[in-house]
Amino acid sequence: MPTRNRRVLIYSHDTFGLGHLRRSRAIAHALVQHDPGLSVLILSGSPIIGNFEFRDRVDFVRIPGVIKLQNGEYKPLKLPMDIEETVALRANIIRHTALSYEPDVFIVDKEPHGLRGEVLDTLIALKERGTQLILGLRDILDDPLLLAPEWQTKNVLPALENLYDEIWIYGLPQVSNPLEGLDLPAAIARKTSYTGYLRRAVRNGAATLDAEKPFGDQPYIMVTAGGGGDGELMFDWVLRAYENDSAQPVPAFFMFGPFLDPDLVAQFTARIARLHNVESVTFDTHPESLISDAAGIVAMGGYNTVCEILSFDRPSLIVPRTKPRLEQFLRASRMQEMGLVKMLVPEAAAIDQTSLPDWKVMATALRHLPQQSVPSEVVVPGLLDGLRNVNRLVEIAAGRRHAGMHVVDHDRSGQQTGNS
């Protein structure tokens, strides 16, 4: 192989929210900052990836978008095609891009086969070329009782055992094991490494697009739901607390997210306009500076927001969703046990199953939030070492590729068919 710069390809299926895209982007930026001889290409289905800035030597290919429906099925975001045609189109773009780019390392975010198996052919083709194949997992995927049958249905284990070279978990075992409850062969366990959480920083010169210091030098509470598509209940609960308790000592700044329904944004904005101590913005592609300056954070507990809470050492109140996945609830529960965050569960604050959560519970929590302990008061070794360890692991993996690894043929299911 002729000498050339190292190349990393990251696949992020992006059917809902910003989690996969923001995690992939954070990793890409850390890699090129660490290694001036490396470039990163991101494959993403996010409809708003073009709104984000990318460092030099980081670029993206936008594949046709799909969205996940309430019943768990998928449909095309824009194209007048059925889902099978759309997935086939995405798979062709993914494979053609990967074979043209010829990455040394291919990192697949969360879904071992990709959306409905769309990345499997690419994995097999790259394996034959000696590319190092990495599955990157967030700290928690779902309730183990639900994850095990889901992965069994998808027949994931052959790919983990025979295609992927390594599995990286962007968290710590003392917080959670995302593969708990899965009957994994020892060969897969040996491939697995915990990196720590992915530290975030305020990029120099990256001012917020829509708002900066929303209340001047006055402290404020930041209320965010990440992408926002499932943030209605949390936003309403916090807003009712301010509407009914006008003496709240610290004002609130709402960031709705790009995927909150526009009608809901309009309704919330109209209510906020009647309050003297609440402001809002739809979305900001640089939320880090707003979060780092906040006196406290109210959030739903998605992976990226928790990384920001830990990185900027902010007192936080997590209001996790419990459907369709328990991921946020499980993360918040464990981190509350460790003393890193506080949690309020909407269902537990409701008077009965048909009522909204009590605004008085939220109002009390908001009053206490700025005085809460911060995450750094709990010593957790390696908590935020994720990006540093990913840099190291990519350097090792790319070195293996350049040194020349043996090539093994694989069939469509990921079962080994040839001899090394």
DSSP E strand stretches across 252-383: 252-255, 278-281, 296-299, 316-318, 342-343
CA pair distance 53, 55, nearest whole angstrom? 7
- Residue 72 pLDDT: 67
The architecture (CATH level 2) of 6-199+384-403 comes to 3-Layer(aba) Sandwich (3.40)
Torsion angle, alpha carbons of 274, 278, 282, 285, to 10: 160
Give the helix/strand (H/E) hosting 98.
Answer: helix 83-101
Q: Is the pTM of this model over 0.75?
A: yes
Asked if the peptide bond before residue 324 counts as cis, ω within 30 degrees of 0, the response is yes
- Residue 165 pLDDT: 97
6-199+384-403 matches 221-377 in fold: yes
List average pLDDT for each run of 10 residues in the chain, which is 420 residues long.
Answer: 80 81 96 97 93 95 86 84 95 98 97 95 97 97 85 92 97 93 89 97 60 81 92 96 96 95 97 97 88 96 95 97 87 96 90 84 97 97 98 96 57 43
CA pair distance 349, 355, nearest whole angstrom? 9
Max CA separation in the chain (angstroms): 72
Residue type, 14: D
- Residue 70 pLDDT: 64
The domain ranges of the chain are: 6-199+384-403, 221-377
For 298, phi and psi rounded to 5 degrees? Answer: -110, 125
Which one is the CATH code of 221-377: 3.40.50.720, 2.60.120.560, 3.40.50.2000, 3.50.30.30?
Answer: 3.40.50.2000
- DSSP-derived letter for residue 377 is G
CB count in 10 Å sphere of residue 173? 12
- Residue 416 pLDDT: 44
- Residue 19 pLDDT: 85
For 231, phi and psi rounded to 5 degrees? Answer: -95, 5
Q: Residue 326 corresponds to which tokens in the numbers above?
A: 């328990």
CA pair distance 350, 44, nearest whole angstrom? 38
CA pair distance 174, 26, nearest whole angstrom? 23
What residues contact residue 120 under an 8 Å CB cut-off, 6+ apart?
113, 114, 159, 412, 414
Nearest by Cα to 120 from 418, 419, 405, 415? 415
- Residue 16 pLDDT: 66
For 248, phi and psi rounded to 5 degrees? Answer: -55, 125
Residues 150 and 327: beta-carbon distance below 8 Å: no
User: 59 forms bridges with which residues in the sheet?
Assistant: 41
Q: Residue 382 corresponds to which tokens in the numbers above?
A: 């390696």
Nearest by Cα to 163 from 133, 183, 188, 140? 133
CA pair distance 206, 54, nearest whole angstrom? 11
